[in-house]
Structure 1
Amino acid sequence: MDISRLEQAWNTLVRRHAELRSVFTPDGRQQFLPSDQTVLHVPHTQLDATTAPEAVNQELDTLRDRLSHRVLDPGRWPLFTVEAVTYHQLGQQRTRVGIGLDNIILDGLSMMIVFSELEELYRDPGASLPERELTFRDYRVQVEPSDTQLRADRQYWQERLDSIPPGPQLPTLVDPDTVTQPRFRRWQRRIPAETWKAALQNARHLGLTPAVVLLSSYAEVLGRWSTSSEFSVNVTLFDRQEVHPHIDRILGDFTSLLLVEIRTRPGDTRGVRAIRLRDQLASDLEHRSVSAIWVQRELARRRGAVAGASVVFTSGLGLGTAMSLDPGPGFPDRIWGISQTPQIWLDHQVSQTPDGELVIQWDAVEGLIAAEAIGSMFDEYARLVSAIADPGWADSRPGLPAASASHLAQPASSPQGPVSIRGESSPVAEAGKPRPGVESTVARIWEELLGSTGIDRVADFFGLGGDSLVATRMVARVRAEVGIELSLREFFADPTIAAVAATGMGPHGGQMQAGTEDFEEGEL
C-alpha cells in the first residue's frame, strides 16, 4: 500500500470536510479550524525483510493496543488517528493500517462516507466527489425543536419518570465504580444472508422493522441474565432531518439516545412482545426532541442516584447500501475493530454486508462481567436472531426453543385489549392510482423519498424499501405540505398512501398490509 498516496487522500478529505478539522472548546462548543492549520501526517513504521516474525507480531500488537483504546483530547486536532506498519510475511510485503475515529465528530453514516470517499480518492487522487452545499454547523444552527415541541416532549417524559426502570442488573465481578479505565472486548457473529432474509420476511408479516425484532431478542437475553425482568436500554437514533438535498453527504454526529423501557408479561409470545415494543417505540419517537441524557439526569435528580441504562442497542441497518465500513478491493481487508463508550458496560451493534449477511457484534467492558457470561449471552442472542427465520417464531414463547414451541403458543392480550398483528382481516382500501388531491401530494412525497414512480395507493411503504428513518422524514413533510397531523404509531399501523390521506379526513381502520419486498431501517 502506498502510504504517501493514502496520506494525500486523507488530506483531501480534511480540506473537503470542515467536520474533520473540528475541535471542542472547554465550554463544549465545536470549533472548525482553517485547512492550512490541519495537515495530516501518517506515522509509518517500516520493517525490513530480515525482521523476525516475533518482532513483527509485537509491532503489530503494539499498534493495535495503542490505537484501540486511545482517548483523544477533544481540544486538540485531529480527532481521528491514522498510523501504518509495513512488514514482510511469507515473502510478501504487507501493510497494516490502524484508523481510530471519535464519535464526537462522526456518526455511523459519517464513517461510511469517510471510508467511501477515502477509497475513491486513494484510487484516483483527482476524483470528483459529490457536491455538498451544507455543513454540520449549518445544520445545527438551523435545526432546533420549537419551544412548543420541547415543552410537550418534556411533559411526556416527566409523566413517565416514576415508572422508568433502571438498566438491566447484570452479574458483575466488581463494583462498576471501581473501573476507572475500561478496556473493551468484542464478540462478533455473521448470520447467513438466506437466514436473515427469511427473518425479514417473518418480521414484515407482523409489521415489524428489522431493528425491532433484533431489539426484542436482545431484551430477551438481557432479561434472562438480569435480576429484574423490567429494565431500560439506551437505543441509538440516527436523526438526520431532511432539511437539504445534500444532508446525506455531510459528516457529523447526528446521533441521540432514546431510553426504552423493557417490560415483560407472563404468557407473552415473542411476536406479541415485539409488537408491544414496536408500539412503545413509535410513541417514544414522537417525543425524541428530549434525549435519554436529559431523562437520565431527571431520574438522577429525582431518585438521588445515577439511574441510567448502561446497556446500548445500535442498529446500522438502512444507513445506505452503497457505502460500508468495510474497505474496497484497493485497501487491506478489515481484520479487527472495537468501540469504547464512557459509562457503558455493553454495546450492541448490527449492520448488513452488501451481499446480505447480518453482522452482529457486542463490545463489553473487560473484567466487569465475566467473559464466560458475556460469551454465553452472545451465543444465546445469535441463536435467537437465527430463530426469527423459523415460521413458528412469532408464536413461540421465551424460555422455549423458538423452532419447537409454536404449537404450544396462542396470541396473548394486553390489559388494553388484544395486540393487533399485521395480516389479520380488516377493512382494505381499493388498489389503484392515488386519487387527486391529498393522495397525489402524499404520493409525490413518497416518490421523492423512496426513488420510486407509479406507486399504488395501497402499496406498503416498507415493502417499497422504506424504513422508519425515511418514515420520520415522510411524516414531517406530510405535516408541512399537507397539514395532516400524522403520528409514527398511526403510520406504522397502516403504511399506505390511502391511509395517510384518510388520517386527515377522520378516523380510519385497517391493519398493516403485508409488503412484497425486503426492507431495512436505521432509526427504529
Structure 2
Amino acid sequence: KTVRENGLTPAGVLLAAYAEILGLWSRDSRFTVNLTLFDRLQGHPDVNRLVGDFTTLTLLAVDSAAAPVFLDRARLLQRRLWEDRDHAAFSAVEVLREINAGAGGTDWQTMPVVFTSALGVGTSGPGGGLTMPGRFVYGISQTPQVWLDHQVYEMNGELLLVWDVVEELFPHGVIDHMFAAYMGLLPRIARGEAPDDPSVLVPDAALAGTGRTLRPAPEIAANLRRAGHLPASGENCALWLLKPSGRLCPDWVDGEICVASPEQAPRPTGIFARRTPEGLLVAPRHGDPAEVSPSPVIREPSRGSADAPADPVEQELLRLWSRLLEKDDLTSTDNFFAAGGNSFIAARLMGAVRKQFHCEIPLRLLFDAPTVRNFAQRMGQYAQDDAMDHEGGII
C-alpha cells in the first residue's frame, strides 16, 4: 500500500531495491542496468492474439545518489524508466552497437547487469501470475555477456526472486552478501521502513577489515609512503577505505584510502584500492571515480477535490481506466498505481488512449499525472501540439 500510494509499481519498487544493493557494491553512484521489457507494439488490431517472443532491451541509467530519501530515489528511477520506454523502438542492442562501432575496435562496452520482471504476465487477480506444475526449485538461464540477471516471477501464487549469476566472475562471497542485503531490504520496504542510508544493509561479514585491521599490500604501502601518507615504519596509523560519498566500502569494492593518526580524523589520500575479506588493501580494478551531482526530487501532483468526471474527456478516460484496471468503483481522483496499475497495464492503457483520442502521448505522462483528472488536464496540451504539427503539412 505504501508503495502504490507513492506512485510506484510492484516491479518498480523491486527494481529500486535492486539498484540500492548494486549501488552499495558499486564504487560509483552512477551505473547502468540492462532491462528486459515485454512489449507488444500496437501496430495491428490482432497483435494481442499472436504467439511469439515480444521482448526487447533498454538501458536504464541509475544514480544511487539522486535523492537523500529512498522513496524519492525509487520514484526518480521509475520516471526515468517510463521516459526511456517511449524510445523502446531503439533497443539496448542497437545502442551498444552504435557505442562499440565508434570505439574503433577498442574499449568494447557491455551492460552485463540485468533486471527482468515478469510480474503481470499470466492470469490476473488474486493468486495470479504463471501457473506451473510442481514447485520451482532451481533455474538457470545462459545469455551471452550477462554477469548477473535478477529475475522476478509470480508463480503459483508466490513471488519468486531469482539471481542468475556467473559466480566465477565474482570474488567468493560477494553475491551471497549482496543477496542477503537485498532480502533484508524488501521486508523493510513492505513495512514502510526502507532506510534512506542503504549502507546499514551491508552485512558485518562484508565489512571484515575495517579500521586498524586494514593492511596495505606492498605496492599500495609503497604508494602511500611515496605520497607522504604513511611513516617509514607504517605504524600508529589507522586505514579506512571509503566511497566518494564517505561510506565504508564492502569487500572487493574500489574506494579511496583514508589515513588517520590517533589524534586526527581520517584524511583522503587520493590513492584507490580494494579490500579483501582478510583486510588486505590490494590494487583497484578501475580508475578514479567521476564526480556526481544530485538530481531533482520529483513530487506527486496533488489530487483534485471532486470525484465525478468533469467533462466528456474525463468520462471516456475513466471508462478506459476502469476497464483495464478491472474496477467498477474507480473515480477521477483515484491514483492509477494505488488502484492496482502496473507497467503492463500502463502500456495497454496508453495504447488505448492514443487510439481513442488520436494524439501521441508519452508513457511518462501517466507517472506525472496518475489520476484521470490530472491526466485529462495534461493530455489537452499534447492534443493541441499534435494539431499544430499536422496543420499545413504535406498531404
TM-score of the two chains, using structure 1 as the length reference: 0.50
Aligned pair 1:504/2:379, yes or no?
Answer: yes
Report the counterpart of residue 184 of structure 2 in structure 1.
383
- Partner amino acid for 1:251? V
Kept in 2: contact 1:486–1:500 (CA 8 A): no
Kept in 2: contact 1:346–1:365 (CA 8 A): yes
Kept in 2: contact 1:446–1:474 (CA 8 A): yes
Aligned pair 1:280/2:158, yes or no?
Answer: no
- Partner amino acid for 1:429? G
Alignment of 1:13-412 (within 5 A): 201-242=1-42, 247-248=47-48, 250-265=50-65, 268-304=68-104, 305-321=107-123, 324-328=129-133, 332-355=134-157, 357-393=158-194, 396-401=196-201
Report the counterpart of residue 344 of structure 2 in structure 1.
469
Unaligned runs of 5+ in 1: 1-200, 403-413, 508-524
Kept in 2: contact 1:220–1:398 (CA 8 A): yes
Offset of 1:334 from its aligned partner? 4.1
- Partner amino acid for 2:36? T
CA distance in 2, matches of 1:320, 1:364: 25
Which digits, 9 at most, give the CA deviation of each residue in 1:229-254, with x for residues without a partner?
32211001010245677655543110
Which digits, 9 at most, give the CA deviation of each residue in 1:440-469, with x for residues without a partner?
222232233233335311122223322122
Which digits, 9 at most, give the CA deviation of each residue in 1:320-351, with x for residues without a partner?
335654534xxx54433221111111111012
Kept in 2: contact 1:207–1:421 (CA 8 A): no
Kept in 2: contact 1:233–1:311 (CA 8 A): yes
- Partner amino acid for 2:151? Q
TM-score of the two chains, using structure 2 as the length reference: 0.65
- Partner amino acid for 2:96? Q
CA distance in 1, matches of 2:295, 2:178: 33
CA distance in 2, matches of 1:272, 1:288: 24
- Partner amino acid for 1:473? R
Which digits, 9 at most, give the CA deviation of each residue in 1:463-511, with x for residues without a partner?
332212221222232223214443222211221221222123349xxxx
CA distance in 2, matches of 1:239, 1:498: 27
Kept in 1: contact 2:121–2:130 (CA 8 A): no
CA distance in 2, matches of 1:482, 1:366: 50
Kept in 1: contact 2:36–2:56 (CA 8 A): yes
C-alpha distance 440-347 of structure 1, shift in aligned 2 (>3 A): same
CA distance in 2, matches of 1:463, 1:268: 24
C-alpha distance 346-416 of structure 1, shift in aligned 2 (>3 A): closer
CA distance in 2, matches of 1:342, 1:365: 11
C-alpha distance 266-280 of structure 1, shift in aligned 2 (>3 A): closer
Kept in 1: contact 2:120–2:129 (CA 8 A): no
Unaligned runs of 5+ in 2: 203-292, 383-395
Partner SS for 1:499: helix
Kept in 2: contact 1:484–1:503 (CA 8 A): no
Percent of pairs with identical residues:
39
CA distance in 2, matches of 1:266, 1:494: 22
When structure 1 is superposed on structure 2, of 295-304 and 232-241 the one drifting more is: 295-304
Partner SS for 2:168: coil
Equivalenced residues, count: 287
Partner SS for 2:198: coil
Kept in 1: contact 2:17–2:185 (CA 8 A): yes
C-alpha distance 501-325 of structure 1, shift in aligned 2 (>3 A): closer
Report the counterpart of residue 478 of structure 1 in structure 2.
353
C-alpha distance 504-431 of structure 1, shift in aligned 2 (>3 A): same
CA RMSD of aligned residues (A): 2.8
CA distance in 2, matches of 1:360, 1:278: 19
Report the counterpart of residue 188 of structure 1 in structure 2.
none
Aligned pair 1:432/2:307, yes or no?
Answer: yes
